[in-house]
Amino acid sequence: MNGLSFSELCCLLCCPPCPSRIAAKLAFLPPEPTYNFIAEVNGKYSVELTARAEWQFSDHDKENVEGFYTRTQRGNKIACVFVRCSSTARFTILFSHGNAVDLGQMSTFYLNLGSSINCNVFAYDYSGYGQSAGKPSEKNLYADIEAAWQALRTRYGISPENIILYGQSIGTVPTVDLASRYEVGAVILHSPLMSGMRVAFPNTKRTWFFDAFPSIDKVPKVTSPTLLIHGTEDEIIDFTHGRTIFERCPKAVEPLWVEGAGHNDVELYPAYLDRLKKFVNVELVN
């Protein structure tokens, strides 16, 4: 009835896994930290990158990366960075990264992305990632992005209509959650997942009470313009996840389905930046 075998169905109903176990199995692989925060004045930190961060710009460009800590409602101190990519940027991207990376590894990408589409980038590490305290969990994901959102609003004075929420892979989970509760300038969902069970058991047709990351049930509440991006040959989160979320999203714009792309190489295709430039600099402006 739900696409599961009889034995799988019996196992799930008799001994259902708790959401935290599904989340831990599917999502959380924090790497060894690739950066440190060096305290300066006024609660600011410079960002010291290790060789593993693979920084591709000059040392002078690092001055455009400002670090600081904020605290979540669950008591975890999380690391955040503000990457000043453009002096004329209208929008700031609140970026929720994928699994198995941290802010250090993503710093070059952030500067490249923001410079290419004329946006500044604000990003944070999930609890237990990089220099963020605590342990990764589904509940912490939601608390982490809420704290990042509040810090972006209060510390930098960015208004919601000038914020673009960008989630990649597991980062689409907190992004959808936040976007379902706040109206923002726009939302970008890059390789999203419908829910944890639907990744673990691809034929699952409903949301079980013990499921984790139920983005599929939250995305109908997203009221901001939303761009879906997914590789058609994604080997980790099947393309059907992106397509189904697109169908459920009330304010979805023309999606970007990258023919032949997998889970980790969408950004290498020229269509990726072309579509983002059109979305940010043409569609959102008009």
- Residues with catalytic roles: 169, 234, 263
C-alpha span between 166 and 189 (Å, rounded)? 6
C-alpha span between 70 and 76 (Å, rounded)? 8
**Close Cβ partners of 270 (under 8 Å, ≥ 6 residues apart):** none
End-to-end CA distance of the chain: 46
User: Which residues are bridge partners to 259 per DSSP?
Assistant: none
Kind and range of the H or E element at 178? helix 172-179
C-alpha span between 145 and 215 (Å, rounded)? 15
C-alpha span between 275 and 62 (Å, rounded)? 27
Burial of 5 (0-12, 13-18, 19+ CB in 10 A): exposed
C-alpha span between 146 and 165 (Å, rounded)? 12
Question: What's the distance, CA 243 to chain centroid?
Answer: 18
CB 147 within 8 A of CB 71: yes
User: Which residues are bridge partners to 39 per DSSP?
Assistant: 45
Tokens of 23: 């989340």
Residue 63's alpha-carbon distances to 45, 102, 223, 270, in angstroms, are 11, 19, 36, 29
Tokens of 157: 């004075």
Closest CA to 277 of 237, 231, 227: 227
